[in-house]
Chains A and B, each alone.
Chain A
Amino acid sequence: MDLAFTKEEQAFREEVRQFFRDNVPPDTRRKMIEGRHLSKDEMVTWWRILNKKGWGVSHWPKQYGGTGWTSVQHYIFNEELQSYPAPQPLAFGVSMVGPVIYTFGNEEQKKQYLPRIANVDDWWCQGFSEPGSGSDLASLKTKAERRGDKWIINGQKTWTTLAQHADMIFCLCRTDNNAKKQMGISFIVFSMKSKGVTVRPIQTIDGGHEVNEVFFDDVEVPIENLIGEENKGWDYAKFLLGNERTGIARVGVSKERLRRIRDLAGKVESAGKPIIQDAAFREKLAACEIELKALELTQLRVVADEGKHGKGKPNPASSVLKIKGSEIQQTTTELLMEVIGPFAAPYDVHGDDGSNEAMDWTAQIAPSYFNNRKVSIYGGSNEIQRNIIAKAVLGL
């Protein structure tokens, strides 16, 4: 057993950190620290910088533009990216549909889609959840019928993150009504500009617009847009969801936020002195930091295990990452609420024009707290995660 990173790994961390310092647009970083939403342009600009460096799709196989890094290097890269902070690559393209295409797609599809995913020439969104199919995803109803050389798609998706920016969607569609529910699903990709696609915004409790409803009304999709085999879509979906195991803990995100809390708590006063001097607050903060340290170690155990034994066998510790990672993220937003106290209330009256530097940081704290309730719901709710542990790990 050894906790230390190698000299090479430490040098790699320094290289990554320096690259972020030199290349992340300062305004993008500031907005992320303040918990503000970024514009499409701001995100794409950064991702193209990353892609130009060759780090846009770092975990892909080398032949498709990946880096060939070790699992520890990936871990370091992610941690530095999250804690700098800078936007992570668009998961829907880079972590989700990309790997499905290079694993199950044909040569034509790989050539057509992969480079465009890497450079975010296409913004992808995920067509999985439906109004009646949340945790019970396999009950989905959106239908794709073969008609000549086309699929005709009808139905509705929901919680479609950033669909308002999207050029492409990967979609789970029912292609066989008679099969067992998991067996009749296919994985089909198509343009969001297709006739019959309607995107309707959902305003979330933080006041933001991240998610959407997407309606398909006789959308015509070329037959060759099926990825892999017909009716095997469920397998690809499981592959896709199981792909990102360690990033989900978001240790770097929570680290950055805890540093920010410490910083703010040294400035904001309570009872005539900085709130960090309040013993009860300080202990609560320490409690969260300890939880995060434990999670970081759990994550490192998974990373080290993958590096040594490959990704084949799931490490039981990885099931912990989603549950604890989301709980800690939520706790950090609660601590920020506590720091800001009564100034949580004002709506973002100043906007983001930089006119009131002293108060700008306060505007997003309550919205960020509201928004972060999502992290224990999405990606398989924490209750679903507990089902998984009970079944897969404990054999219940």
Chain B
Amino acid sequence: MDFDLNEEQRLLKESIDGLLTDSYDFEQRKKYMAEKGGWSKTVWLKLAEQGLLGLPFSEADGGFGGGGVETMIVMEALGKALVLEPYLATIVIGGGFLRHAGTDAQKAAHVPGIIDGSKTLAFAQLEKNSRYDLFDVSTTAKKKGDGWVIDGEKFVVLNGENADTLVVTARTKGERRDRSGIGVFLVPANAKGVARKGYPTQDGLHAADITLTGVEVGPDAVLGNPEDSLALIERVVDEARIALCAEAVGLMDESLKTTVEYIKTRKQFGVAIGSFQSLQHRASDMFVAAEQARSMSMFATMASDFENAKERTNAIAAAKVQIGKSLKFVGQQSIQLHGGIGMTMEAKIGHYFKRLTMIENTFGDTDYHQRRVADAGGLV
């Protein structure tokens, strides 16, 4: 039973916190957002230089063999600084598919470019009506020769506008909501038949709606079993959920800190508004919510190593519920305690609120995961 970071993990935290303190204040972030694609290549290469892009890859693949705790440290720090760069899409999710299912040849083709920062990935999964069900796949992949032809539409693909390679879920067999018959394919973003419509998202990130029309890929595009990869998808998405929980904890920490600082300095009726008990109690409740979220983020991080898949999934779903509830409260009350200034684009707090809000609706919202836990027979 131990919730402390070890020496190496402490150094990692210091290193990324230091990097972001130097290069990612709110004003700098605005500049990065204005760059082509909506994030900073320079910052991305700095992350690469410090080894952060190679963190979760095995040493054999040129990485550092980091585990869940290392990713948690990074995601918390990225959340705290409201980072725009596609760490989740590229390193956690795209990289996750390669780590769990990539052949040596696939890893050799993709991982070095990811680690050195020259290539990014995107996960093309969401469809018009699939909502949060990962098995709800209408996009098809049909065998042609020894390769595949992919047809379908994908939506809100994070980093889809900028990615070099798309990780696409597609049905090779069966009906739309069958749990079997789903494959995962590595598709070059510039392949013939890929049409991308990029746009900024509410939280300042960038995504794309992607149409795949008769996109032909070779046999080397298949990740895992093309007819039965739902378990793989669930595994990687679970890791993404854990990473989002950690990012949310970082965002909540910073939201609470910013809000408490604000009510200590904002004066009304001749005194700091933080001297009013109603505001103090609200801030205390935000602290409680953030601590409960931190506990569950740690729990989910450690649960990712659980042998029992049902226990693992249940724990991660439970964490997403707690994070969803906490982030809504902390996010909303951060705006409330800031008052009018919290409503402006100019103040940073609103941007934290927006990112937190989008996290709730990514890979299953609070109700969705609560239902999963309930249907699995609960947690006690």
Contacts and interface: CB of A to CB of B under 8 A. Distances in A.
B373 A286 contact: yes
B374 A1 contact: no
B284 A259 contact: no
Interface residues of A, number: 51
B274 interface: yes
Interface string A289-308: 11111110110110111011
Given A283-B370, A396-B283, A298 B5 contact: no
Nearest to B302: A3
Interface in A265-320: 279, 282-283, 285-287, 289-295, 297-298, 300-301, 303-305, 307-308, 316-317, 319-320
Given A259-B380, A297-B296, A320 B1 contact: no
B301 interface: yes
Interface string B357-378: 0000000000100110111001
A320 B292 contact: yes
B291 interface: yes
Contact of A285 (B69, B302, B378): B378
B292 A396 contact: no
A88 B150 CA distance: 64
B288 A389 contact: yes
Given A300-B1, A320-B291, A1 B380 contact: no
Contacts of A396: 260, 263-264, 274-275, 279-280, 283
Contact of B287 (A9, A279, A282, A389): A389
Nearest to A6: B1
Nearest to A256: B380
Contacts of A1: 2-5, 69, 298, 301-302
Contacts of B31: none
A3 B301 CA distance: 10
B293 to A, nearest CB: 8
Given A301-B295, A320-B291, A255 B284 contact: no
Nearest to A70: B1
B281 interface: yes
B2 A304 contact: yes
A279 B302 CA distance: 29
Contacts of A259: 380
Contacts of A304: 1-4
A262 B1 contact: no
A177 B296 CA distance: 49
A295 B292 CA distance: 7
Given A287-B370, A290-B322, A394 B260 contact: yes
Contacts of A72: 1
Contact of A387 (B274, B280, B380): B280
Given A5-B1, A305-B3, A386-B281, A297 B299 contact: yes
A22 interface: no
Contacts of A303: 1
A290 B370 contact: yes
A324 interface: yes
A287 B1 contact: no
Given A294-B292, A294-B295, A295-B292, A390 B374 contact: no
Given A317-B291, A386-B285, A2 B379 contact: no
A148 interface: no
A217 B3 CA distance: 53
B321 interface: yes
A390 B283 contact: yes
B318 interface: yes
A308 B295 contact: no
Nearest to A2: B2
B94 to A, nearest CB: 25
B2 A282 contact: no
Contacts of A287: 321, 370
A395 B264 contact: yes
Interface string A208-246: 000000000000000000000000000000000000000
A1 B4 CA distance: 6
Contacts of A9: 1
Contacts of B302: 1-3
Nearest to B301: A1
Nearest to B279: A396
Nearest to B263: A396
A262 B2 CA distance: 31
A289 B373 contact: yes
Contacts of A390: 280-281, 283-284
Given A293-B379, A317-B291, A285 B2 contact: no
A72 B2 CA distance: 10
Interface in B254-294: 260, 263-264, 274-275, 277, 279-281, 283-285, 287-288, 291-293
Contacts of A358: none
A136 interface: no
A389 B296 CA distance: 20
B3 A294 contact: no
Contacts of A391: 280
A293 B284 CA distance: 20
Interface in A302-353: 303-305, 307-308, 316-317, 319-320, 323-324
A321 to B, nearest CB: 10
Nearest to A385: B284
Contacts of B378: 258, 262, 282, 285-286, 289
A301 B287 contact: no
Contacts of A5: 1
A308 B1 CA distance: 10
Interface string B299-329: 1011100000000000000100110000000
Contact of A3 (B292, B299, B367, B371): B299
Nearest to A383: B281
Interface centre among A255, A282, A304, A395 (most CB of B within 10 A): A282
Contact of A297 (B260, B295, B321): B295
Nearest to A281: B374
A386 B280 contact: yes
5 contacts: A291-B322, A319-B288, A386-B284, A389-B284, A394-B283
Closest A-B pairs by Cβ, 4 of them: A297-B295, A390-B280, A286-B374, A386-B284
Given A262-B378, A308-B4, 18 more contacts: A1-B298, A4-B1, A5-B1, A255-B380, A283-B371, A293-B299, A293-B379, A294-B299, A297-B295, A297-B299, A298-B295, A300-B3, A303-B1, A317-B291, A320-B288, A323-B288, A387-B281, A391-B280
Interface of B: 1-5, 69, 260, 263-264, 274-275, 277, 279-281, 283-285, 287-288, 291-293, 295-296, 298-299, 301-303, 318, 321-322, 367, 370-371, 373-375, 378-380
